[in-house]
Structure 1
Amino acid sequence: MAQTITSLSLTAADDVKILQQIATAVAETLGFKRFHATRLVTCALELARNVIEHGGGGFARLSLHEPRGGAVMLRLAFADQGSGIDDLEEALAGHGTRAMGDGLGLGLAGVRRMADAFNVDTGATGTRIHADFAAPVETSDLARVAEDAGNRCDEILMRESNADRRIRQLETDLSARELTIGEVHHRTANNLTMIASLIRMEQRRAEADETRDVLASLGIRVDSMARTHKLLQAGTGETVEPGPYLQQISALAETFNRADLQVEVEIDSDDMPIPARLALDLGLITGELVTNAFKHAFPDRSKGRISIRLVTQNDTIFYRFSDDGVGLPEGHKPERSGSLGWRMIRTTVSSNMGHMTVDVSGGVTVEMSFPRIS
């Protein structure tokens, strides 16, 4: 009389992990003591590993048997699709690859010693192994216990199958999401670049200096957003390395350099990526501050210097802008100014839960801090 508990295909390392759960659950359901359960699971893992690594895959079957005149036995049956074991006697004696194994180190010889009964049938079409273990089960309970053990195995297989499907679906969804986001960044960057080009065309056509300055400032704002989306398209996540990005933004503002004024812009940043939204906003802020400095900080001078520093310390991002220009009149508070640029800066800092201080003595220094929220 035999009662099948469960069977499992063995093709990958993950299948061995599932078999470990199944063998452990079966041993517990049948009432094996811990020592005997450990031997049983160890043998199951060794045989499963051999099937996958040396036999090209196969299957495992667990069943309960009632030999004539004997105790109830739990049988571990394994079959592979390999070319067979070249020297079975050597393997069973503890020699050769199949004998030693390179996982648990038991091999066939070790399994043979642990099992209460052991049988191997090998040939050109594959290898079949039976390893029997005396089970602490009464004959009258054989069918019921086999059903209980089978139900536990079904739960494990169902759980693992659902988990695998969920993981594969999540991976597929994530890939599709990343592809979609990348396409959005690509199209957005192209559209913004085109808008920036149109603004520059109008800037060149403008006759009034004030109009050209306004269009130049607007072009920098739009171009800074375009560059953020380009960086996000090329990246692997919703973060941006701030150093190269700020270099690009400051280079845009350097278009304000002219023959009688050369301003050096220095960027100091660590390598810690920052969230994309904050990067976009800091790009706008940097473009605005650099533009203001070029326009107002260096009257009657041929040279100037701007420093921009961005570092992350613990969970806080610190940003500092400073120029060595003339500063502003005493009592002037640009952070309270009604100009479009400063209103944009204040709103941007606030929307990122940041804090800002401004010092206008001996040049303009703007310091900001933001919580690092992924």
Structure 2
Amino acid sequence: MNFYQISPSIREIPQTIVRVRKITFGKKNTIMNQQIQKTILLVEDEPLIGLKESAQLQEYGYKVIHALNEQEAMKSVENKNLIIDLILMDIDLGQGTNGTDVARNILKNHDIPILFLSSHVEREIVRMTEDITTYGYMVKNSSIAALDASIKMAFRLYDAHSDLKKKSLEIETKRRELEFSEKRYRRLFESAKDGILILDAKTGLIVDVNPFLMQMLGYSKEELLSKKIWEINAFKNINYSKQLFKELQDKEYVRYSDLPLETFEGEMLHVEFVSNVYLVDNDKVIQCNIRDITERNLHEKILENDIDNKKALLRELQHRTKNSFSLITSLISLRSIAASSAELKNTLEELNLRVQSISDLYSLLYETESIDRVQLTTYCNKVIESIDKLSDKIEIHENIERTYVSAKSAAIIGMILVELLSNAVKYAFPNGRKGIINIELHKIGDNLQLTVEDNGIGLPENFDIAVTKTLGLHLVSLMTSQLNGNIEFPKESGTKIVIDFPV
């Protein structure tokens, strides 16, 4: 079930979601019965989507706390009576709130693993999470099984990261202690897992070398001591080695992220080379730390290839998604043609219109290669065109100002337009009478104003959208609230609906 499915009443949607979840995941209810139940904070500003995701996660054995905004999320993590094991954070929380900023605020004072959820897969959006300690990035509408697997992986990564951080702190403490005594320094020098060379800063002669470097290069200590660095075959480029030594003497610090070294056996290694000058008994010495990064470079190349493959997969998924929308609308149309009753036929046609409006938006973003901005004139015309086919006795006139909005706002506006137009076509002109529907969309100050007006039979007397049982108008009211807008029904002949919302 998704946000756009039909339900007899908006109040029945939560119960319907639960029924579907029990049918779909009824066999999963023992997945975590032998494990300690984990508590997940779901930060999702869409109430219905949050309700759906909470129900799915609960079916997989998680305890879920749903926060609609940053304030509710911060209140939950700061509640000392709650132990939150993981946060599922929506990237786009609406009203100018970015999930990555909320995550940063949480991580300032709390060590909780965060897994991002988003309907965006664009590079610019994903990059927003790169400077945050995050444990994954999931695309919305992925299967619950995939989300569950990502959550479990996030827990494992968090445990590993905690262990690594603990070990790093222990190593740093030991390093500082060893600096105060030669004996402790020698122990560190001998046991270090990086190669270390100690040079005389004046002459460039090697005065000490640790076992790890001897093992790395295949030379004995006697073959290295009392020689200049450029006299060792490992540093075969003599001129370059002399230049490096001169730079060390002048700057007293150099770092090279990738230098070639040749072992005694002729094997080529790639190393990270960091050197600095310091005083020992008033004499300057140079310490060279040499780390073998050959294997790391190999893994980086593998990761680069993996990223390229995932990019290709993403392009293929985008293409398939576009085709999938077309397939869904085609299947609904075929089922509508074969419908056994007028009620079923109307229901399928309305469902098809809702799916088509989302399909039109996705196609527009795909064709224009836009990340988040939509030209409303083009999109609204696509929506109107699909409604216009429902009746040859009703004329639809539009006057839509050229303006751009976010893809999220465009999707909501498109759904509102579908509901209002389909309601007008269905109810405003009974018994096949002719009619006209006028649509206007204009920018007024910092707001957009959408007006849908018809010359039909009009709304019932004493109409109140707050108590109406019509699902379509309930959805219009909910979606207007999502836009932080207002809806009015001016008393005029026919029906006139005016919706104002900030750009």
Rg (Cα) greater in structure = 1
Which of the pair has the greater relative contact order for Cα pairs under 8 Å at 6+ separation?
1
TM-score calculated relative to the size of structure 1: 0.49
TM-score calculated relative to the size of structure 2: 0.37
